Every structure is written in structure tokens, then in C-alpha cells.
Structure 1
Amino acid sequence: MSKLFARIVGYFGNRNLVGVDKAGNRYFTRKEEIDVKEKRWVLFRGEEDSTSIPVEWICWLNGQRKIAPTPEEIMELEARRERVRQNVARLKKEEEEEKRAKEGNARKTSISGKVGGPDLKSFIRQFPDALEGGKVKEASDAMDGTRNSKERATEKAETEQESSEPTGSGASFRPGTWQPPS
């Protein structure tokens, strides 16, 4: 029993208070006589919440820092963190203002009607309809009223004769036999 009592008294009598953080948590250290290694621990104020420990103290507890953080260092780091928070808030505000300005410009151009869309008639004329076999061009020409039916028939006959595409389908088709005209 005396050994247990001596160990308890030695444990509490041999500890050194290293510092206190902003939340009121107290940090202690003691030298182990057997291991010659320094033991570090924290006594939480109130509820044991490991997320309430500042990063500097976590580094000290884990042995990543040899010296415990000083109050001046902690105050300097807190001021730096606050500046970073303010800068982040300012940047978010500027981004939102830029986004609103861009949206406002887009709305103005769409409302004024000056934004021209694609010319669909000229776009459709580029591609003959597969189902109608090239009648889209004829239909669009008829809509324009620029040509008569005789001119259209002549042009259609010329395009069919000048075509270098292979003709034939079904049983008469043989792969690899078509050669381009020379």
C-alpha cells in the first residue's frame, strides 16, 4: 500500500505546469526516472473535447515541438488566423459581386435583343435531309423565289453526273472494288 501511495504522491508532486490555453485547458509535463523521457498531457477544463486543443499545443503534446508555445506566440497566431478569416470573407464578397455583375450584363444583353442567334435557315441549307434526299435545298430555294423549276432540274442532273461517290447497293455491292475517278 505504501508503494501505491508513494507512486500517487510522486505522480502529482513531480508534475510541472507548462501552460494554459485560451479554453482553460492546462498542460503538464514530468520526467520519468525510468525512461528518462518527458511525459506530456493535458487536463481539460470542463468537458474532455480534444477538438478544443489548439494546433500549437497538439504539436507540443505529440513531441513535434520541443518547447511549449508561449502566450505571445499564441496571440500572434490568433491574430494571423483572424486576418486570414477576414481575407477569406472579403474574397468571397468580391467573388459574389463579380458574379452578380456578370449575371447583370448577361441579362442586359438578352433584354435588349441585340444578341443575335444563329441563322437557322443558312445552317439547315448546309445539310441535305437524309429522308428527303436533298430536297431541303430545293425547298429553301423555292421559298426564296430566286430560281425556277427548269434551272433546279438542270443543276440537279449536273450534280448527279459529276458525283464521284459509288453507286449500287444490296447484292451488287462488293467491298474494296470502288476506285476514285482519276
Structure 2
Amino acid sequence: MSKLLARIAGYLSNRTLVGVDKLGNRYFTRTEEIDGIMKEKRCVIFKGEGDPTSISVEWICWLNGQRKRAPTAEEQMELEARREPVKQNVAFLKQEEEERRAKEGSSHKAKSTGKTGGPDLKSFIHQFPTEGNKLEEESDAVDRGRGEDEAGAQKAKEPLSE
């Protein structure tokens, strides 16, 4: 009975099945009227859990509108066959890199290139006084020195009255 209802609902809905990928995700188009213009909307219904990273590049391009036609099963198989040697090469290079790091690790410690901590703020903090108000004391001393110089200059300007 549920299959019959699903089939009837399928006829009444305005979406059409365009394709299915190797994981079983189903891709649909539907036409909507937006501002008097008929627009084609594209969507995917995931099989099982909805992991968006499981969608292949061809289907992502089709969903985004970068491709006009949906990828065919033959095209998907051909592209997967092209990707297989690349995946094997990546696995081989990773294994080689791990072996190289293991060799270097036994002879000496490997240097870490990534920053693990926050930024170095020593030069920034150095600008601020660390012991009490040392900066204020220095500026007060400078001001006192200026005051004495100004007082001496005024005494020199005043005529001596004796």
C-alpha cells in the first residue's frame, strides 16, 4: 500500500529523478516559478546518513549549476577509473613519508613547523612597565627636570635689583 501511495505522490510532485550515484544518493530537478520566471531547482536526497562530503565532484558541479547535464553512469565509472591510480599514488607517497619520518625520528628529533602556542607577545608586553608605575616615575622626573630648567631660565631673564 505504501508503494502505491509513494507512486501517486511521485506523480503529483513536480520533481523528476535525474540520476543516482554509486552510493545510492538520488538527484532530482524541479521547476519553480520565481517572480514570474520558471527556474530549475536541483536537489539531492541522501541514502542513509546525509554526509555532504560523500557527493562526487561531478554531482556537486551539477547541483551548483556549473554543469548543464547530469553526469551519466558511464562518465562516473570512467572518472572513477582515472582517480584510482591517483589514490594509489597518494597512499604510496604517504607511506614513503611516514618511513622517512621514522628514520629521521630515530636519528634526531623532528622539528615542528606548525605553531602550537599563541603568538609571541614579549615585544608587545615589553612596552608596558612591569614594576609598579616605573613609567610614571620616569615621566615625573623628566617633568621636574624641566621645571628646574624653566625656573633657571626665568631667573636669568629677570633683572637683578640690588
User: What TM-score do the two structures reach when normalised by structure 2?
Assistant: 0.48
Larger strand percent = 2
Work out which structure has the larger RCO, using CA pairs closer than 8 Å and 6 or more positions apart in sequence: 2
User: What TM-score do the two structures reach when normalised by structure 1?
Assistant: 0.44
